[in-house]
Amino acid sequence: MNHGLQIQENYSLRNYNTFNIDVSAARFVELISDDDIKKFVSQVKVLQPIYILGGGSNVLFLNDFRGLVVSIATKRIQKIDETESSIDLECAAGETWNDVVSFCVKNNYYGIENLVLIPGTVGAAPIQNIGAYGVEIKDILINVEGFDLDSKKLLTFTNKECEFNYRSSIFKTKLNGKFLITKVRVRLSKEKKYQLNYRALNEKFGNQNIESISIQDVANYIKQIRLEKLPDHTKLGNAGSFFKNPEIDIEHLEELKKQFKGIVYFAAATGNYKIAAGWLIEECGFKGKRIGNVSCYEKQALVIVNHGGATGNEIKEYAEKIQSAVKDKFRISLIPEVNII
C-alpha cells in the first residue's frame, strides 16, 4: 500500500496517546490530505487489524498494536452555508477540536462554546458524541462524511443516522473500525443562545441579563473550570474522564439516598437518574490514591493519571480496582468511557 503513502514500521505511539503509554504500532500511516485518504481507502485491506487514531485523547493501549494505526491529519474549517440566523461549517477530520471551538467563539457563532478545551480531533468527536457542561456534539451536528472501508464507498450519515447516545454513536458500535470519518458538518447560531443549565454555569451566569454575557465570557469560564479540575496531559498522562456517569432507576436511587446523604445525581433523559461517577469513586477513597505509577487525580477522582512509566495494563488494573470497590459499595457497575485497545 505504498504509491506515495509513507508506511512506517514499528512506529512509537507515545506522542499519539495522552496517557503517554510507551507502545508502538507494527505499521503506521499519517494521512494529511484528501488525496492521501483516497489512496489509503483504495488500497487498504480490512482483513488486517486497523485502528483509526484521532488525537489519542480517549484511548488506552495495553500492548503494542500488531496491525496498522491510521492517523488523520487533514486541516480545514470552511463556511458552506449561511442564513441571517445560522452558519454551517465543514471541518476536516484532522482539525484539532479546540481550534474549531476557538474559531466559533472568535466569530460569535453560538452553540459550541461549552465544548471548549476538550482534547482530540474533529473526526473523533462524533464517534464518542463528546459532551460537557450540558452540550453534546449531537446538538449542533448536521452530518458526518467518510469512507466505508469494506465497500470503499463515500457515505454521508445524517444526525439521526449517527445513532447518537450517551458517549456513543454508530461509529463506536456497528461501524467500529470499519468507517473512516473525513468531514464533519455543524450548524451554529448567529443569534445569542447559551446553554447555561449546568450547575456551575447557572451559578455564575443565571442572574445576569443574556445581553450582558459574551460568548467569550462563557468559554473563558468553562476553560477556567476545566483547568482547575483537570490535569494537563503533557505534564501528567491522562485521558480525561475515565468512566461514564452510570444510570440507575428511582428505586435504587431512593435506597442509596437513605444510606448516603451527599449522593450527587441528576435526572437522565430516559427517566432514570445519572449518578456522578467522580462522587462514587471519591466515596470509595480513590481520590489522590496512588498505586505504583497510577492514581486518581487529586482534584478530580474521575480522572486516572499516569505519573510516568505506567503501562497500559497497570492503568487498567487500577481502573478495575475502582470498578470492584464501587460495585461492592453501591451495587453500581462503572463502564469505561476510554477505549481500551
Q: What is the pLDDT of residues 90-143, one digit of tens each?
A: 999 999 999 999 999 999 999 999 999 999 999 999 999 999 999 999 999 999
214 is catalytic: no
Domains, the chain, in order of start with CATH, read: 8-72 (3.30.43.10), 77-229 (3.30.465.10), 237-340 (3.90.78.10)
pLDDT tens profile 271-305: 999 999 999 999 999 999 999 999 999 999 999 99
189 is catalytic: no
| Cβ atoms of residues 236 and 305 within 8 Å | yes
- The pLDDT of 155-174, averaged and rounded, is 96
How far is residue 27's CA from residue 183's CA, in Å, rounded to a whole number?
24
Containing 148, the helix (H) or strand (E) segment is strand 141-148
- The DSSP-derived string for 284-319 is TT-BT-EETTEEEETTEEEEEEE-SS--HHHHHHHH
Q: Which of 142, 188, 193, 196 has its CA nearest to residue 164? A: 142
Q: Is the sign of the CA dihedral 52, 65, 97, 167 positive or negative?
A: positive
Query: Predicted confidence band at 3 (pLDDT cuts at 50, 70, 90)?
Result: low
How far is residue 103's CA from residue 82's CA, in Å, rounded to a whole number?
16
> Which has more confidence, 292 or 43?
292
Catalytic residue among 90, 247, 283, 337: 337
Q: Taking 80 as the threshold, does the pLDDT of residue 177 lie above it?
A: yes
| Cβ atoms of residues 185 and 141 within 8 Å | yes
Catalytic residue among 167, 169, 282, 295: 167
CA distances from 45 to 11, 42, 148 (A): 20, 9, 12
Catalytic residue among 71, 169, 241, 295: 241
| Cβ atoms of residues 79 and 89 within 8 Å | yes
337 is catalytic: yes
CA angle, 293 as apex, 124 and 64 as ends, to 5°?
A: 50
Q: Which residue has the cell 492521501?
A: 36
